[in-house]
Amino acid sequence: MKPISVAPPLRGEWFAVTTPGDKIPSHGAHNWGMTYAYDFVRIKITNDGTSSWHKKSKKEYNLAQVKLADTYGWGEPIYAPIGGVVRELENEVKERSRLHILSDFGFALLNSLFFSYKHGKVKTLGGNYLIIEGDNYSAFIAHAKTGSIIHKVGDTVNVGDKIAEVGHSGNSTAPHLHFQLMDRADIRNAKGIPCCFDSMDIFNNDTWDSVSDHIPSSKYIVRFIASE
């Protein structure tokens, strides 16, 4: 199936930590339409060419001294990748205020071992999320900042509208955006649809190359720009 090209849900420089550009299913499962899902973490490139997703040192991170406000992604705007109607959302899941490798990855490990896709709640994994139903497919946005989702169920959104902010809710090891395209708004019975992004730059050999209708991989840092 040819990937559907959608508008970038973010702006600026991000790293695709999980992407169908690397493997399918990208998250290791086909449940809940996740076959072609993406996870994007906001990063900054330093003058020496290295990158990081937070402003603190590795030692400070290991000592649980990194707060949400110390990360580059938390609170960044999320934009509607497709137009449609908001069919489902959760906006009140609390976030863990400090990040720590043991607690964050331990939380994810527990979910991987014991979470039930048949009986579990979407917010347990997705945290604060919303589902936009378009004419032919639906978009799932997850892990949003608590209280940041602007719309309510039944609202119509247009491509490029701000819909929420990046957060650390649900099954999250760092503030990031989880995005996937599905064949229906009912995520519990949805199948994933392959998708790409209509405009972005990729950082390759110390230069930014513009690409269109592209599936990013974890080999490159990407810079999302607004669709024309």
Q: Is the pLDDT assigned to residue 177 strictly greater than 90?
A: yes
Low-confidence winner among 58-67, 86-95, 110-119 (lowest mean pLDDT) = 110-119
**CATH code for position 92:** 2.70.70.10
pLDDT at 47: 67
How many domains in the chain?
1
- At 163, is the pLDDT very low, low, confident or very high (cuts 50, 70, 90)? very high
Q: Which residue has the tokens 């936009």?
A: 132
Give the residue, 222 or 113, on which the prediction is more confident: 222
pLDDT at 49: 66
Per-residue CA distances from 90 to 30, 109, 136, 145, 153 (Å): 22, 23, 23, 11, 10
Q: For the segment 79-113, what is each residue's pLDDT rounded down to a tens digit?
A: 999 999 999 999 999 998 878 776 777 777 776 77
pLDDT at 210: 94
pLDDT at 205: 81
Interior angle at CA 159, CA 94 and CA 26, nearest 5 = 60
Residue 206 has φ and ψ, to the nearest 5°, of 70, 15
Give the residue, 157 or 120, on which the prediction is more confident: 157
Q: Is the pLDDT assigned to residue 196 strictly greater than 80?
A: yes
pLDDT at 48: 67
17-33 average pLDDT score: 95
Per-residue CA distances from 58 to 64, 82, 167, 226 (Å): 10, 37, 21, 33
Query: Could you tell me the residue range of the domain that residue 174 belongs to?
Result: 4-224
